[in-house]
Amino acid sequence: MAPPDDTPCGDSAPVATNSDAVIAALQAENARLRAENAVLTARLAELERRLGLNSRNSGKPPSSDGLKKPPRVNSLREPTGKTTGGQPGHPGKTLRRTETPDATINPYLAVCAGCGEALTAATATDHVARQVFDLPEPRPLIVTEHRAHGCRCTACGAQTRAAFPDGVTAPVQYGPRIAGFVLYLLHYQRLPEKRLAMLMADLFGVTLVAATIARISRDCAGRYAGFADAVRDLVAAAALKHLDETGFRIGGKTQWLHIASTLRLTFYRVSPKRGSLLANVTGIVVHDHWKPYYTMTGVRHALCNAHHLRELKALVDIEQEDWARRMQRLLRRACHASNLARERGVPLKPGLIALFERCYDTILAEGLAFHDTQPALVRAVGTGKPRGRPPRRVGHNLLLRLGSRKTDGLRCLTDPLVPFSNNLAERDGRMMKLRQKISGGFRSMEGAMDFAVIRSLLSTARKQGWDILQTLNANPDRLIADLRVA
């Protein structure tokens, strides 16, 4: 009989221990890989979302779309069924005949087309007239010489010299019309200085250099600085104003152009800080929910729903969240209803406003319920100790914002003065982006500030219905007195 073997019993513990260690290591590695996979999956989803963003579903500028343009977004207004183009009754604008032409040409046939007999003007029986409108031939500049004569008094012998007219300060200089034309092309049509100099030489024979153009711009800004200050105060005190800001470069550094505008006024100012807000503001402020605007005291806020619609479009196109599609439809109908009420000059009925608000609350509740069922987002590995609130999805953040700022977002329904969007300020700021594409940034802060003053003048003049070239040569005090606020 074989002796009892204790080896299996003795080796069983080490074998079990090794197997448990291997299993534990594999489980730990599996958990680590799962966590890394969750982080990478979340990161991939975020990167794919960013790739899906464009100027139609986010705040990205149209220039970032490149050559592959996204399909055009639907209008904020509900379809009316009308055909595109001018509607019946639209006055239109076309070239009209004038009863006082500058020149008349009367061609006559020399011989009859039937028999060849000679014809004269005396044989004319009628005529058919056609008019051609064209520019006159370029003329050389008109040179006006001012002679300030000195006179000696016959009684006391004192010598007295006449004064030159205002603005005549140099032995040889360009006149105000040339200065106004240069300012118009430089700051309103945004021609670069070199191309502007070429245009003036080709069309008018005027030889300008960059220094002369810069001096004309600097003199204009100094002359109308008081006008810009008056516009600033009127905008700040207006019942409703639109605020926005956009970045640009001055001397290679990022600076900010702040826009404050109404339907009749536009004020631009340059600041090194984005958070430098306009002072002494009262009334209602329309903006895009940039948080520093909510630090302003003594004002009421109205949010830009065009921004909301773009964010909702991204949630519909990329995340495919159903609540966003319904909220998008609701806001478009609210836009149509508020615009229609404003055109008719009557406020929305309280019952209709209450219906919009109930639908708004229902969609918010359904959206929040949807996000409550979604798995929590995973923080990136290696970010250290978690700080702040847990990460939330983009749609969840938008839901919370729409809920907490409901009154500001739907103010266009309750106040006929408030528009649906902040497009007025965005249009007033678009000219800066166009200038950046054409000429880039500014070399100095002084040049940028001069640009802001002159653009405040030009944009306000256009809204006031003034002639631009006459405005650039008008007295600033008279312009301030002629300003219309409403």
Statement: residue 25 has pLDDT above 90: no
- The pLDDT of residue 77 is 54
Nearest Cα residue to 254 out of 60, 451, 50, 448: 448
- The pLDDT of residue 49 is 77
CA distances from 167 to 39, 153, 174, 311, 429 (A): 70, 28, 10, 53, 33
Average pLDDT (283-288) is 96
- The pLDDT of residue 292 is 93
Give the lowest-confidence range in 112-126, 137-151, 278-292. Answer: 112-126
Report the side by side order of strands in the sheet with 240-250: 266-271, 253-261, 240-250, 283-287, 299-303
- The pLDDT of residue 35 is 80
Statement: residue 308 has pLDDT above 60: yes
To the nearest 10 degrees (0 to 180), the angle between helices 176-183 and 210-223 is 90
Work out the mean pLDDT of the chain and round it to a whole number. 87
Q: How confident is the model at residue 325 (pLDDT cuts 50, 70, 90)?
A: very high
CB of 378 within 8 A of CB of 271? Answer: no
CA distances from 418 to 39, 137, 193, 293, 475 (A): 44, 50, 40, 17, 34
107-139 burial: b if 16+ Cβ within 10 Å, else e: eeeeeeeeeeeeeeeeeeeeeeeeeeeeeeeee
Statement: residue 394 has pLDDT above 50: yes
Q: Please calculate the CA angle 414-419-424 and round it to the nearest 5 degrees.
A: 160
pLDDT digits (tens, 9 = 90+) for 42-94: 778 778 777 777 777 776 667 666 666 666 545 545 566 778 777 787 777 78
Spatial separation of the C-alpha atoms in residues 23 and 440, rounded to whole Å: 63
Q: How confident is the model at residue 293 (pLDDT cuts 50, 70, 90)?
A: very high
Statement: residue 9 has pLDDT above 50: no
Q: Give Dmax over CA atoms of the chain in angstroms.
A: 162
Statement: residue 13 has pLDDT above 90: no
- The pLDDT of residue 7 is 47
- The pLDDT of residue 66 is 67
Most confident of 27-36, 84-93, 344-353: 344-353
Average pLDDT (205-216) is 91
Spatial separation of the C-alpha atoms in residues 98 and 470, rounded to whole Å: 25
Give the lowest-confidence range in 79-88, 94-103, 146-155, 243-252. Answer: 79-88
- The pLDDT of residue 457 is 97
- The pLDDT of residue 105 is 92
- The pLDDT of residue 93 is 79
Residue 389: count of CB within 10 angstroms of its CB? 6
Which residue type sits at 354?
A: A
pLDDT digits (tens, 9 = 90+) for 168-194: 989 998 899 999 999 999 999 989 999
Q: Please calculate the CA angle 234-240-244 and round it to the nearest 5 degrees.
A: 85
Average pLDDT (34-41) is 81
- The pLDDT of residue 113 is 85
- The pLDDT of residue 458 is 96
Span between the terminal Cα atoms of the chain, in Å:
118
112 or 301: which leads in pLDDT: 301
Question: Mind spelling out the 3-state secondary structure of the chain?
Answer: CCCCCCHHHHHHHHHHHHHHHHHHHHHHHHHHHHHHHHHHHHHHHHHHHHHHCCCCCCCCCHHHHCCCCCCCCCCCCCCCCCCCCCCCCCCCCCCCCCCCCCCCCCCCCCECCCCCCECCHHHCCCCCCCCCCCCCCCCCCCCCCCCCCEEECCCCCCEEECCCCCCCCCCCCCCHHHHHHHHHHHHHCCCCHHHHHHHHHHHHCCCCCHHHHHHHHHHHHHHCHHHHHHHHHHHHHCCEEEEEEEEEEECCEEEEEEEEECCCCEEEEEECCCCCCCCCCCEEEEECCCHHHHHCCCEEEEECHHHHHHHHHHHHHHHCCHHHHHHHHHHHHHHHHHHHHHHHCCCCCHHHHHHHHHHHHHHHHHHHHHHHCCCCCCCCCCCCCCCCCCCCCHHHHHHHHHHHCHHHHCHHHHCCCCCCCCHHHHHHHHHHHHHHHHHCCECCHHHHHHHHHHHHHHHHHHHHCCCHHHHCCCCHHHHHHHCCCC
**% residues pLDDT > 70 (the chain):** 90
Average pLDDT (219-241) is 96
- The pLDDT of residue 8 is 46
Residue 427: count of CB within 10 angstroms of its CB? 15
Statement: residue 4 has pLDDT above 80: no
Statement: residue 132 has pLDDT above 50: yes
